[in-house]
């Protein structure tokens, strides 16, 4: 018998190493607008809290997760009008681990999960691992952004539907779902008896007066919602791996029982500092993301064949490039080869992502306002990226 015969069946169907476990070796002139990997440097007072924790004995097991962190998370949610008692919070090592923890608690082989199209696909690996069918339900485009289509969701529901994935604010779609939209989803979940995995990774990033609403706060949804969150995007925390799952009192013990690793204790101490004292830092980051979004939206809309709507939330642009005559894959490949820009696109769903590309606003504008973990040279700024995209589009679209 070969090794392949012996390994887990669900894995041998498709070998796919997570993208964060792969290292890209880009040529020096490459600008990456592909990953959602924020570039901001941590302020000293947060880094110092981590260092003090290491020196102060937080190098043994952190039994029960850091109580102060659960308290800080609980307090953080009061701004959304939601009281999340600390005992209903499970600390995880980031956004995808939160999704994995949530799905591992609720899904059985043969169940179905519905994912609106387009959406972030981070839970797909766990679904395949658990032999769960991921059913894509199309979203509808309204004023340039993809929104929930309740009729399409209803069509996708079967007796096997166990969960719905909801990315709010949406990645890549950029929509921030209103209370009314969430109420529509809540009614479906209650009527058809399924859970909603509510991925709120970008809840801090809402623009132009839009407001983040918490699905779990809607009456009847407490034990049907699994809020999945990470500090990755909020505090430029991608390499420090901290997140959480919040749910209701009936469901929380099952979430906490799903197997997972724990989060480094000193990092949890740093997370307490960030959540309790770091809001000014988040505000600075937000301001800069919004400037980048405004700038790049304007530049893209000046190009032939491209239509770009500024998102209501998150820090991605998801322009329609179908007018260029290229598919999103062709656009991405040619742009990388000809202009050394890396983007993403077609992976966000089988239908609606077609004809779109996703640009992540992780590159500073023409000047360095906030300290970055990489050196930004003049030819590696967002301005330079947009100049290259302009050259590329004007060369291909007459």
Closest to ligand PLP by CB, 171 or 268: 171
Task: For ligand PLP, give the closer residue by CB, 111 or 199.
Answer: 199
Nearer of residues 122 and 278 to ligand PLP, judged by Cβ = 122
Q: How many CB atoms lie within 10 A of CB 219?
A: 8
Q: How far is the CB of 38 from ligand PLP (least distance, A)?
A: 10
Least Å from the CB of residue 225 to ligand PLP: 16
Q: How far is the CB of 394 from ligand PLP (least distance, A)?
A: 31
For residues 356 and 327, what is the distance between their CA atoms, to the nearest angstrom?
Answer: 8
Residues that bind ligand PLP (CB under 6 A): 36, 94-96, 120, 122, 167, 171, 199, 201, 230, 232, 238, 243
* Rounded distance between C-alpha atoms, residue 20 and residue 361, angstroms: 18
To ligand PLP, the closest distance from the beta carbon of 365 in angstroms equals 22
Q: How far is the CB of 4 from ligand PLP (least distance, A)?
A: 28
To ligand PLP, the closest distance from the beta carbon of 238 in angstroms equals 6
Shortest Å, Cβ 377 to ligand PLP: 26
Residue 238 or 341: the one with the smaller Cβ distance to ligand PLP is 238
Q: Which residue is nearest to ligand PLP (CB)?
A: 95
Residue 229 or 393: the one with the smaller Cβ distance to ligand PLP is 229
Nearer to ligand PLP, 77 or 235 (CB): 235
Q: Which is nearer to ligand PLP, 230 or 252 (CB)?
A: 230
Spatial contact of 243 and 228, defined as CB atoms under 8 Å apart: yes
CB within 8 Å of 335: residues ≥ 6 apart: 341, 343, 388, 389, 392
């Amino acid at each position: 018998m070969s090794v392949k015969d012996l390994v887990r069946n669900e894995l041998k169907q498709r070998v796919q190493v997570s993208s964060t476990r792969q290292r890209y070796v880009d040529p020096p002139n490459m600008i990456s607008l592909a990953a959602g990997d924020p570039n901001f440097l941590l302020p000293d007072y947060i880094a110092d809290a981590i260092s003090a924790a290491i020196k102060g004995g937080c190098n043994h097991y952190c039994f029960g997760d850091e109580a102060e962190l659960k308290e800080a998370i609980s307090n953080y949610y009061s701004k959304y009008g939601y009281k999340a008692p600390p005992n209903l919070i499970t600390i995880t090592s980031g956004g995808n681990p939160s999704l994995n923890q949530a799905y591992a608690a609720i899904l059985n082989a043969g169940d179905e999960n519905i994912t609106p199209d387009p959406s972030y696909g981070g839970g797909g690996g766990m679904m395949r691992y658990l032999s769960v069918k991921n059913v894509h339900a199309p979203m509808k485009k309204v004023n340039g952004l993809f929104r929930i289509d309740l009729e399409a969701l209803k069509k996708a529901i079967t007796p096997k539907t166990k969960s719905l994935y909801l990315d709010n604010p949406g990645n890549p779609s950029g929509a921030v779902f209103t209370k009314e939209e969430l109420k529509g989803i809540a009614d479906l979940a209650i009527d058809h008896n399924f859970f909603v995995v509510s991925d709120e990774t970008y809840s801090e990033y809402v623009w132009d007066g839009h407001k983040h609403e918490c699905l779990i706060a809607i009456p009847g949804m407490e034990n049907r919602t699994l809020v999945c969150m990470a500090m990755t995007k909020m505090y430029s925390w991608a390499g420090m791996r901290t997140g959480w799952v919040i749910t209701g009192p009936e469901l929380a013990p099952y979430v906490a029982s799903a197997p997972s690793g724990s989060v480094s204790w000193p990092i949890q101490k740093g997370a307490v500092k960030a959540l309790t004292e770091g809001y000014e830092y988040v505000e600075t980051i937000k301001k800069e993301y919004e400037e980048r979004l405004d700038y790049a939206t304007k530049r893209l809309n000046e190009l032939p064949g491209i239509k770009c709507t500024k998102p209501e939330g998150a820090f991605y642009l998801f322009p329609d490039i179908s007018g260029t005559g290229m598919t999103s894959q062709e656009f991405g490949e040619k742009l990388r080869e000809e202009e050394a820009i890396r983007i993403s696109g077609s992976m966000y769903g089988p239908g609606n992502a077609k004809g779109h590309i996703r640009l992540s606003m992780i590159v500073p504008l023409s000047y360095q306002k906030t300290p970055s973990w990489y050196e930004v040279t003049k030819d590696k700024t967002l301005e330079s990226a947009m100049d290259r995209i302009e050259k590329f589009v004007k060369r291909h679209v007459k």
